């Protein structure tokens, strides 16, 4: 195993941290590009599979919504009842 040079590792970390504000500023652009790519992919799927692509897409979004709502409800209802939390 090669020893890690601490100065080199620190320099890499500092360069990474200096580039972070640029990444945060580019977040709206990246989000817009992701939405446009999803829309393009969705349209290609509709052209290829027609109605069944819409059924598949709606079922996936419904699954995501069901999963998130179940997780939120479980968090709101069962977390306050947790014995571990009460013991803290």
- Helix, strand or coil, per DSSP, at residue 78: helix
pLDDT in tens, 28-58: 888 889 989 999 999 999 999 999 999 999 9
Please state the φ and ψ torsions of residue 64, each to the nearest 5 degrees: -60, -45
Domain boundaries, the chain: 1-49, 50-88
For the entire predicted model, the pTM comes to: 0.52
Angstrom distance (rounded) from CA 42 to CA 20: 31
**Residue in the structure block whose two tokens are 């598949």:** 56
For the ranges 14-18, 62-66, 67-71, the lowest mean pLDDT is seen at 14-18
- Which pLDDT belongs to residue 77? 85
Tell me the pLDDT of the chain averaged across its residues: 85
């Amino acid at each position: 195993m090669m020893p890690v040079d601490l100065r080199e590792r620190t320099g890499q970390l500092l360069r990474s941290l200096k580039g972070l504000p640029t990444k945060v500023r580019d977040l709206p652009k990246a989000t817009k590009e992701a939405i446009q790519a999803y829309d393009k992919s969705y349209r290609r799927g509709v052209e290829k599979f027609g109605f069944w692509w819409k059924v598949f897409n709606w079922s996936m979004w419904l699954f995501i919504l069901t999963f998130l709502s179940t997780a939120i409800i479980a968090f709101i209802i069962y977390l306050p009842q947790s014995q571990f939390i009460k013991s803290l």
